[in-house]
């Protein structure tokens, strides 16, 4: 028994000493959506811009105008759509249209929740500064208990968020479907 315990301990020690790959320090294969959204969040929090937001939940519409949004929460779904995890390393095909300035990441398998990310670039891109005009994300999750479909878009002017939208539906077994359409425009 003592040999088994020692063998188990040595095995655990060897596994614990294996270096792990830190995706935050490694070169990312796909567009770094997490970093991009974090930068947008920081800039928007610093600027305190007014936002005109329209929300429609299953036919119930509401509109607000405010300058006190929690941008971390507001853009969370965009940040969560990042595809740079080690488990997704080769899960997306990359297609580029350099003439029109578009890069599209398309899931190779339907099991991937983020089905597609399209990035439309503006003019005057350099290695140091990338000018993004629009980001579009298609998300889909379907299992025996629920189904979720949503399309999210960010529009940018001078690399700063000018508008965004989240549209989709959620169906949970034995419950009513929820259809939603959220759109916001930054005013000043």
In the block, residue with structure tokens 């294996």? 18
Q: What are the residue ranges of helices labelled H in the chain?
A: 2-16, 33-47, 71-74, 76-79
Domains in the chain: boundaries: 29-186
Please say if the pLDDT value at position 127 is more than 90.
Answer: no
Please calculate the CA angle 115-118-121 and round it to the nearest 5 degrees: 170
Distances in whole angstroms, Cα of residue 158 to Cα of each of 8, 104, 131: 57, 21, 7
pLDDT > 90: percent of the chain: 68
What per-residue confidence (pLDDT) applies to 128? 61
Global confidence as pTM: 0.82
Q: List, for residues 104-120, the tens digit of each pLDDT value.
A: 999 999 999 999 999 99
Provide the token pair at 175.
């419950």
Q: List, for residues 8-49, the tens digit of each pLDDT value.
A: 333 333 333 333 333 444 577 899 999 999 999 999 999 988
Please calculate the CA angle 129-135-136 and round it to the nearest 5 degrees: 165
Q: List, for residues 57-100, the tens digit of each pLDDT value.
A: 999 999 999 988 999 999 999 999 999 999 999 999 999 998 89
Lowest mean pLDDT among 19-23, 143-147, 159-163: 19-23
């Amino acid at each position: 028994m003592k040999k088994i315990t020692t063998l188990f301990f040595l095995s655990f020690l060897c596994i614990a000493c294996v270096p792990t790959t830190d995706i935050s320090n490694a070169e990312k294969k796909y567009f770094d959506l997490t970093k991009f959204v974090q930068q947008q969040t920081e800039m928007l929090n610093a600027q305190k811009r007014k936002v005109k937001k329209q929300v429609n939940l299953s036919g119930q519409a509401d509109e607000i105008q405010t300058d006190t949004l929690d941008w971390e929460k507001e853009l969370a779904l965009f940040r969560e759509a990042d595809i740079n995890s080690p488990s997704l390393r080769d899960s997306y095909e990359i297609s580029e249209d350099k003439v029109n300035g578009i890069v599209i990441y398309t899931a190779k398998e339907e099991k991937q929740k983020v089905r597609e990310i399209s990035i439309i670039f503006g003019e005057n891109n350099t290695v140091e500064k990338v000018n993004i005009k629009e980001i579009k994300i298609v998300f889909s999750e379907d299992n025996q208990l629920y189904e979720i479909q949503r399309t999210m878009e960010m529009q940018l002017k001078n690399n700063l968020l000018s508008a965004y939208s989240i549209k989709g539906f959620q169906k949970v077994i034995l419950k009513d479907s929820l259809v939603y359409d959220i759109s916001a425009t930054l005013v000043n």
